[in-house]
Structure 1
Amino acid sequence: MRDLVKKLLIVGSGPGNPDFLTVKAYDTLKKSRIVLFDNLVSQEILDLCPEDCKKVYVGKHPYGEYVPQDDINTLISYYSNRFSTVVRLKGGDPYIFGRGFEEWLHATTLGIAVEYIPGISSMQGAGVNDIPLTHRGVSEGVWALTGMKNNGEMAADLMLAAQSNSTVIIYMGMRKLTEIARTYVLYGKADTPAAIIQHATRPNQKIVTCSVKDLKKTCQQYEMAHPAIIVIGHVVNLKNNIHSSLFQDKRIVV
């Protein structure tokens, strides 16, 4: 019997709306036979898989129940011995706080060929709400930080990011709102605009804006919850500022 060809496809499903899938991710799902999927993968995206495709949940709920990474690695090994190609489907982009490269390393160690298919990250979904990540003269760059390191602490780079003129995107930071606000207050930037975007690009998307010092209060007031990203920087107010300028310019007819 000929040896089974083993291949792992690490696929980004984007922020959840199937319209934001890449063509390659879409084609991969339509031909899939086995899919190991995360908590943030939407049902609409899973429905793209063939009816006879085996779908195995290996998700992690924020601060809740989760499938340990060691167990996921074991499942990758197990199904790679039974299917020629295993699809590992992750929310957003697998290489942006998605542990995708950990699974790449595990599979490669076992001699499994790996292909990475990028996905649109949830931070790019902020643009759907007219919040660009950069804008000339407003933001000099982008910091993408995690609010939850292995030891449960906030990314140490927040102190550096808060001193910059760049847009700051924080993943998994909903339990760190007080710490985030305190850092910006410390550097005299308490009034920096901020946005919390829950379920970015999805039909049930919810977004609130405030000053960074009011993140915790605003989150509680509007009952914001996981999954959500936090966007901090003057790009958050660009939409309102531009609209104000248009109305003040008598040459503009609206």
Structure 2
Amino acid sequence: MGKVYLVGAGPGDPDLITIKGVKIISQSDVILYDRLVNEQLLAYAPEQTTRIYCGKRPDHHALKQEQINQLLCHYASQGKVVTRLKGGDPFIFGRGGEEVLALRKYQIPFEIVPGITSGSAAPAYAGIPLTHRQISSSVAFVSGVTRAEEDSEAYWEHLAKGTDTLCIYMGVKNLSDICKYLIRYGRDAMTPIAAIYYGTTQVQQTVTGTLETIALKAEQIKNPAMLIIGEVVRLREQIQWFEEMASEESEPLGAVIS
């Protein structure tokens, strides 16, 4: 029996992967990697390593989750070292838990290697601290997409006033509705919000506004993007650094992801 490693590849900048993650990639017989994984990381693998793309775009999956689970079990049962390379962190909106449960079912050894999630990395590169003394002492990482059977209004009503800072994954498509719900259920319309496209990479873009104005200002921002909502967004005016430095440097500071 082989072993499966669920490795967080980080948010996009290839330098943000962990040392342990690099070590495991370099020992892998098979790597199954996601769309948001920087492909530069695959260069750490031996030349003979089998590389399998498992990317998921909205409404289009290269492989269904069930097929990915089957491949992990298949290669591990052949005695191979299998790396499931996932963007960000495997257990933060990465479906890592589902994959581990599939491995458990067939008693396949596994190990989890955490990664830096875009929910913390993108705002850091945009100059937005998620917590700040006297401004924000609580943070929530939430999905911008509700389950089909879930009441969207109840979901956003619950989040509207319960947390100082909201970090929303997969929310750009529903940005206008999210803002409307949050205002309806108690957030001030003037609450600042940032939309960060491809955070930590050379093509990072950040658009700021308020719950009332951001839908129009950020209409050109597409996925992948993080939404950050809360008073901490105002600190960007003083702290922003990455985009300024990137414009001054001749060499790219991050990696372009295709």
TM category, shorter? 0.7 to 0.9
CA gap 1:199/1:242 in 2 versus in 1, 3 angstroms: closer
1:107 aligns with 2:106: no
Structure 1: gaps (5+ residues): 244-254
Partner of 2:162: 164
Q: Please, which moves more after superposition, 130-139 or 147-156?
A: 147-156
CA gap 1:168/1:155 in 2 versus in 1, 3 angstroms: farther
1:7 aligns with 2:3: yes
* Structure-1-length-normalised TM-score: 0.87
Structure of larger gyration radius: 1
Q: CA separation in 1, counterparts of 2:197 and 2:239?
A: 24
Partner of 1:185: 183
Alignment of 1:21-60 (within 5 A): 21-60=17-56
CA RMSD of aligned residues (A): 1.9
SS at match of 1:44: helix
Partner of 2:250: none
Which AA in structure 1 matches 2:143? T
Structure 2: gaps (5+ residues): 241-258
Which AA in structure 2 matches 1:143? A
- Give 1:239 deviation, angstroms: 3.3
Identity of aligned residues (%): 36
Q: CA separation in 2, counterparts of 1:190 and 1:164?
A: 16
Contact 2:160-2:187 within 8 A present in 1 as well: no
Contact 2:128-2:236 within 8 A present in 1 as well: yes
Q: CA separation in 1, counterparts of 2:156 and 2:238?
A: 26
Match of 1:227 among 224, 227, 242: 224
CA gap 1:66/1:189 in 2 versus in 1, 3 angstroms: farther
Q: CA separation in 1, counterparts of 2:103 and 2:169?
A: 26
Aligned length: 237
Contact 2:77-2:108 within 8 A present in 1 as well: no
- Give 1:63 deviation, angstroms: 3.3
Q: Please, which moves more after superposition, 231-240 or 148-157?
A: 148-157
CA gap 1:80/1:156 in 2 versus in 1, 3 angstroms: farther
Contact 1:18-1:45 within 8 A present in 2 as well: yes
SS at match of 1:73: helix
Alignment of 1:111-150 (within 5 A): 111-125=107-121, 126-150=123-147
* Structure-2-length-normalised TM-score: 0.86
Partner of 1:252: none
Contact 1:181-1:214 within 8 A present in 2 as well: no
SS at match of 1:112: coil
Q: CA separation in 1, counterparts of 2:239 and 2:2?
A: 53
Runs of at least 4 residues of structure 1 off by over 6 A?
A: none
